[in-house]
Amino acid sequence: MKKQALTALAMMIASGASAQTFSLDDNPSAPLTSAFYPGLFSAEDPFGLFLPSVAAGLIGPSPSLITVSGITYTDGDLLTVVPAFPAEPVLDVMAPLGTYLDAVSQDHEIFHPEVSPGMNIRFSVDRATTGLPGTPLATEFGFSQQPGDIYISEMLFPNPGIFVGTLGAGPFAGLLPTAAPAVPGPHLLEIDESGLNLTAGLGPGAFLPPAVPAPPIGRGSHDNVDAYNVLPDMTMDVDGDGINDRDYFFSINPGDASAFGLSAAAIYSVPKGAGGGIVPAWAPAPFMGLNALGVAPNPDLQGQRDDIDGLVVWDFGDLSPNGDDRAEPNRDYALFSLSETSASLAALRATGLPVDGSTIFFTDFTGAFAVYLFGGQVGVADISFSDTQFNNIDALEICAEVDEPCDPCVLADVNMDGAITAADFTAWIAAFNASLPECDQNCDGACTPADFTAWIANYNACTP
């Protein structure tokens, strides 16, 4: 059945359609993610930490992980939507070593500051998170529809690449100029869960439009998008052979991290063609200043202190086997969120800083991280009980604003090494053969033979 889904995906790619890539929550072996229970309310709590034993199992895995047309998916499988399968998501790439993905990101190097000065923030939330009054997230929360949706900020925020090299000493480098805790921002409902072939409580294959009542969230009733990624006309597995054709990055949850002897605060990578597997961390936690503040908030975390929960990565090198095994400080960078169990959040809140699971952080892998945006700036509500926060950005993605007209000197530098040379022609051939975005040299949104002539023109315009 998985082969059938992959064949359908290959047909979709051949037809030129685009797709969203996402994973679903949660871990069937420890099924409580977020739930109402007597007297308290929990956000992004994958193992039921801090919850009484009577609450265990209140919410099971997303129903589309249980069975879809006889297919059993896991919470680490990356799924997508295929027109040939209108009633269900299908498999894009299988989970690396069966792990539970907390976050996922393709390489966003094409969205660097020279081309993309501003960006909108895309995000999903968990079952416990609502929006500021009057926002689409608040509306969907009121109808028990929010955990499978994708939201997008109406405001543009500066490309975080402009802050590379500015953080200074870590582990926490303070607030970037973009961070304004008292300034709320609007957002839109970009994709209703039904647009991802997900269910809001009626069972797999049964959809509801937005802004209509859904059944109350209960055990295993609603799909919950936990990781999300999209680039123009791209999926992870382009040719449908079950092997990823894109470099991608991910984080894992505390339980899997402990089982593998790894860190939930690290970023791991899967080079294109690798087909999965966990390798040494591409960005260990100290690269980002994580696992350095506070103490593990609960002994059940088994030594894990911080947990990356949403992720967008810009990597300006090639992953193994081509040589870039680790994040390059002062060159690569990332945005990320932390789950509410993270020690760094508790330590920063103890200083009076209003950070929580909806705060978006920035790092350039120099051993420090800083606040890029607060959740309220994209319309996520800040609700707390005592010192416990109940809001969480589950998945993180961006939508880049591209400068027009296109800069020929940026386009001609296909390998993005800062120089326009004959090596860029080789890089363009590779991009053309793989239908990568870098192939598009005339900014028409397509990769065609006409882009060869356009690359020659761009090259000639930008070289002596």
pLDDT tens track for 117-136: 899 999 999 877 889 999 99
Residue 181, burial from CB neighbour count under 10 angstroms (0-12, 13-18, 19+): middle
**8 Å CB contact between 370 and 394:** no
Beta strand 225-229 with 172-175 is unpaired
Tens of pLDDT, residue by residue over 162-202, are 999 999 888 999 999 999 998 999 999 999 999 999 999 89
So what's the pLDDT on residue 84? Answer: 67
Question: Other C-beta atoms within 10 Å of 463: how many?
Answer: 13
- Burial code (b: 16+ CB inside 10 Å, e: under 16) for 52-82 equals eeebeebbbbbbbbeebeebebbbbbbbbbb
Nearest CA among 459, 453, 446, 449 for reference residue 411 = 459
Nearest CA among 111, 109, 68 for reference residue 90 = 68
**8 Å CB contact between 248 and 104:** yes
φ, ψ for residue 8 (rounded to 5)?
-65, -40
In this prediction, residue 30 has a pLDDT band, given cuts at 50, 70 and 90, of: very low
Tens of pLDDT, residue by residue over 268-311, are 988 887 766 667 899 999 999 999 998 876 554 556 889 899 99
Nearest CA among 141, 162, 143, 163 for reference residue 151 = 141
Global pTM value? 0.81
β-strand partners of 396? 123
Alpha carbons within 13 angstroms on the beta-carbon side of residue 446 total: 7
In the chain, where are the structural domains located? 2-401, 408-462
So what's the pLDDT on residue 301? Answer: 53
